[in-house]
């Protein structure tokens, strides 16, 4: 048996939950030249500096929206052929009709500006008479042309929403057993992640758990793009780039699958809030999104829009594309369809601030991405007391926000299952991130509210300021902190502003503003 190994580090910037500003104490996204910021990936109407869920809704006059595995493999759905249930058409953002004036900032490239607006860098350069795309000056003014649609996307439903998230339908699915049963390249694959060897099954499971994306969908995407699940003879290029993202900095299964999971999430959660109206494909084609597809389908359509040109994309999202691949591996995806999360009637259980009474912590990050930059804005940041900034050792304790079982703890992350069944896919789950290894709670421990989780730190992701990042999931879906089910901690209610990391905590007449540092205005006392 041949082992395929490559060194990868979990702290790689793209996979990090967040990155801290040098003098700050809160998470902060970093967007590289070949990436697109959250909530503006195909928002072809607005500046990438200001795109947001709330902004997308406001533009339409809408109110704000609001670990253990079974030993048995997934059963193939039986019974009659199941078809998607109809969804109500939604009002989607319209394409911008006029040019936008844009001023070059530090770190901008013609490529990343073009991607943020859903056009090619060649077209952007031609539109502005730029001869050398490498010669941009800070403060230089350029015009962003309006996007030109090339048609409409199909309304075929690929998967139900429950097959995108790491929810209840995955509880009986054994990833390792399934992969080994197929005998493909993935069955014998091994990769070093954060200096620890992981099998292909372990990588798929970790990505599914961290991003909260269905492992069956990840395996289907992997099979569709490279045949890794069933084929043992894989060409070198597909061994390096099994998802099809040919980027030297993202070689190997872990980084490729993380990219896939992040972009599946991005399409899914944007669609949830009517924040996307068109798909911008890698060849510059822009297709108006069908308003009748579901969020799960939108997630798949978005992922493939970042990987494929028009002909390949239309094939991938057709009945003969990913849907057929999924069906060949697992049966009709709509045979697994579970009840969607009903946020209109969802009630958060009581939760407390994650620190001790009388302690003064800084509210350093308002609603922002829970994991990766493609998930919902489900997370908040708090920094411990003290005068120093940066990655300092803190003896303060992060306390459990509610009663629940610790299912996982490692690489800075602690997962608490509030219903105590040991399954992260069901019920309420809390993520605590940047928890130091020192004194960290062990998996399998049942904690009552206000018991120690561990110390805040910079561990996990890339962080330059000691803090805790806390986020919620329900039945596998990240729950936005400031929408229909606001994040409530000790009666402090989370309120967003439409800009990631900004916002307030409000309790009665009291108000605390999120600020990436220490200020009298962002102190929260229990």
pLDDT band of residue 104 (cuts 50, 70, 90) is: very high
CA dihedral 220, 221, 226, 229 (to 10 degrees): -30
What is the C-alpha to C-alpha distance for residues 420 and 283, in angstroms, rounded to an integer? Answer: 48
Domain boundary among 320, 336, 352: 336
State yes or no: pLDDT of 366 exceeds 90.
yes
Q: Is residue 30 part of a domain?
A: no
State yes or no: pLDDT of 235 exceeds 50.
yes
Same domain, 368 and 310: no
State the average pLDDT over residues 345-351.
Answer: 97
Q: Is residue 329 part of a domain?
A: yes
Structure tokens at 298: 């939108």
Question: What does the pLDDT look like over 56-84, one tens digit per residue?
Answer: 333 323 333 333 333 333 344 444 556 78
State yes or no: pLDDT of 3 exceeds 70.
no
Domain boundary among 336, 369, 404: 336
State yes or no: pLDDT of 138 exceeds 50.
yes
Same domain, 162 and 137: no
Mean pLDDT of the residues in the chain: 85
Supply the pLDDT for residue 81: 56
What is the C-alpha to C-alpha distance for residues 442 and 430, in angstroms, rounded to an integer? Answer: 15
Q: Is residue 26 part of a domain?
A: no
What is the C-alpha to C-alpha distance for residues 517 and 522, in angstroms, rounded to an integer? Answer: 8
Structure tokens at 510: 């009291």
Contact yes or no for 398/441 (Cβ under 8 A): no
Same domain, 270 and 365: no
Buried b (16+ CB within 10 A) or exposed e, 209-237: bbbbbbbbbbbbbbbbbbbbbebeebeee
Q: Beta-carbon neighbour count of residue 203 at 10 Å? A: 25
Q: Is residue 194 part of a domain?
A: yes
- Opening angle at CA 66, ends 424 and 337, nearest 5: 50
Domain boundary among 304, 336, 368: 336
Supply the pLDDT for residue 165: 98
State the average pLDDT over residues 225-229.
Answer: 98
Contact yes or no for 319/333 (Cβ under 8 A): no
Tell which residue, 227, 210, 251, has the closest CA to residue 476: 210
Question: What does the pLDDT look like over 48-57, one tens digit per residue?
Answer: 333 333 333 3
Same domain, 163 and 263: yes
How far from 179 is each of 73, 235, 309, 353, 484, CA to CA, in Å?
10, 19, 30, 41, 39
Overall domain count for the chain:
3
Share of the chain above pLDDT 70, in %: 84
Same domain, 140 and 158: no
As a whole number of Å, the end-to-end CA separation of the chain is 57
Same domain, 446 and 481: yes
Same domain, 454 and 321: no
Same domain, 311 and 330: yes
Domain that holds residue 499: 360-525
Question: What does the pLDDT look like over 185-203, one tens digit per residue?
Answer: 999 999 999 889 999 999 9
State the average pLDDT over residues 429-449.
Answer: 98
- Residue 85's φ and ψ, nearest 5 degrees, are -80, 150
State the average pLDDT over residues 142-155.
Answer: 91
Contact yes or no for 207/219 (Cβ under 8 A): no
Q: Is residue 58 part of a domain?
A: no
Supply the pLDDT for residue 339: 86
Largest CA distance in the chain: 66
Structure tokens at 245: 């993202």
Q: Is residue 95 part of a domain?
A: no
Share of the chain above pLDDT 90, in %: 70
CATH of the domain at 131: 3.10.350.10
Same domain, 251 and 131: no
pTM of the model: 0.83
Helix (H, G, I), strand (E, B) or coil at 291: coil
Q: Is residue 10 part of a domain?
A: no
Same domain, 264 and 370: no
What is the C-alpha to C-alpha distance for residues 457 and 468, in angstroms, rounded to an integer? Answer: 7
Helix (H, G, I), strand (E, B) or coil at 400: coil
Q: Is residue 344 part of a domain?
A: no
Supply the pLDDT for residue 43: 40
Same domain, 385 and 520: yes
Contact yes or no for 504/366 (Cβ under 8 A): yes
Same domain, 265 and 409: no
Contacts of 464 (CB under 8 A, 6+ apart): 19, 20, 21, 22, 24, 390, 391, 458
């Amino acid at each position: 048996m041949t082992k395929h190994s490559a060194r990868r580090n979990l702290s790689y910037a793209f996979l990090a939950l967040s990155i801290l500003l040098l003098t700050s104490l809160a998470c902060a996204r970093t967007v590289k030249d070949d990436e697109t910021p959250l909530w503006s990936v195909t928002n072809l109407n607005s500046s990438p500096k200001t795109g947001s869920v709330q902004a997308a809704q406001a533009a339409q006059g809408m109110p704000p929206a609001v670990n253990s595995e079974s030993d048995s493999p997934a059963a193939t759905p039986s019974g009659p052929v199941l078809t998607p249930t109809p969804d109500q058409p939604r009002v989607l953002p319209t394409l911008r009709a006029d040019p936008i004036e844009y001023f070059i900032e530090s770190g901008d490239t013609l490529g990343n500006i073009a991607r943020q607006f859903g056009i090619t860098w060649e077209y952007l350069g031609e539109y502005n008479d730029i001869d050398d795309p490498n010669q941009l000056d800070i403060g230089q003014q350029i015009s962003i042309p309006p996007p030109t649609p090339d048609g409409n996307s199909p309304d075929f439903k690929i998967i139900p929403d429950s097959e995108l998230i790491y929810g209840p339908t995955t509880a009986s699915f054994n990833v390792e057993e399934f992969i080994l049963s197929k005998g493909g390249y993935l069955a014998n694959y091994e990769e070093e992640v954060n200096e620890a060897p992981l099998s292909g099954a372990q990588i798929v499971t970790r990505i599914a758990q961290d991003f909260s994306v269905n492992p069956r969908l990840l395996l289907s995407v992997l099979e569709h793009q490279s045949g890794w699940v069933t084929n043992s003879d894989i060409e070198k290029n597909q061994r390096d780039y099994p998802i099809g993202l040919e980027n030297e900095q993202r070689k190997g299964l872990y980084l490729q699958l993380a990219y896939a999971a992040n972009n599946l999430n991005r399409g899914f959660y944007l669609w949830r809030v009517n924040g996307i109206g068109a798909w911008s494909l890698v060849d510059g084609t822009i297709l108006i999104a069908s308003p009748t597809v579901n969020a799960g389908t939108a997630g798949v359509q978005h992922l493939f829009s970042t990987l494929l040109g028009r002909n390949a994309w239309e094939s991938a999202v057709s009945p003969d594309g990913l849907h057929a691949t999924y069906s060949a591996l697992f049966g009709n995806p709509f045979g697994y369809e579970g009840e969607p999360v009903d946020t209109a009637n969802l009630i958060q259980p009581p939760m407390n601030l994650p620190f001790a009474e009388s302690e003064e912590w800084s509210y350093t990050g308002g609603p922002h991405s829970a994991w990766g930059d493609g998930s919902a804005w489900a997370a908040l940041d708090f920094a411990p007391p003290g005068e120093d900034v940066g990655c300092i050792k803190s003896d303060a304790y992060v306390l459990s926000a509610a009663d629940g079982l610790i299912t996982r703890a490692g690489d800075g992350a602690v997962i608490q299952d509030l219903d105590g069944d040991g399954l992260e896919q069901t019920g309420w789950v809390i993520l605590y991130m940047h928890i130091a290894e020192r004194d960290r709670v062990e998996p399998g421990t049942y904690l009552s509210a206000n018991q120690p989780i561990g110390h805040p730190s910079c561990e996990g992701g890339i962080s330059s300021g000691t803090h805790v990042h806390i986020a919620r999931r329900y039945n596998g879906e990240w729950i936005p902190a400031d929408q229909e089910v606001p994040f409530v901690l000790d009666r402090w209610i989370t309120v967003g502003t439409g800009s990631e990391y900004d916002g307030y905590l409000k309790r009665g007449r009291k108000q605390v503003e999120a600020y990436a540092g220490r200020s009298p205005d962002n102190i929260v006392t229990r």
